[in-house]
């Protein structure tokens, strides 16, 4: 079983899980064509 310390860590991690880093966080700001990840249909070109 998880120790208390690890339970507390899990709770913090769980909160962070709901606002994960975004790819644009690690890139220079693109004002004209900003990156906007979107879940496209699987039959579209994926890469």
Report the interface residues with other proteins, using CB under 8 A.
Answer: 1-3, 6, 8-17, 19-29, 31-41, 43-47
Distances (CA, A) of 37 to 8, 23, 30, 33: 31, 8, 14, 12
Give the nearest distance from C-beta 23 to other proteins in angstroms: 6
Closest residue by Cα to residue 37 from 21, 15, 13? 21
Give the nearest distance from C-beta 14 to other proteins in angstroms: 5
Give the nearest distance from C-beta 11 to other proteins in angstroms: 7
């Amino acid at each position: 079983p998880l120790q208390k310390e690890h339970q507390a860590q899990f709770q913090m991690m769980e909160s962070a899980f709901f606002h994960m880093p975004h790819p644009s966080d690690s890139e220079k700001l693109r004002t004209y064509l900003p990156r906007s990840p979107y879940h496209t249909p699987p039959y579209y070109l994926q890469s």
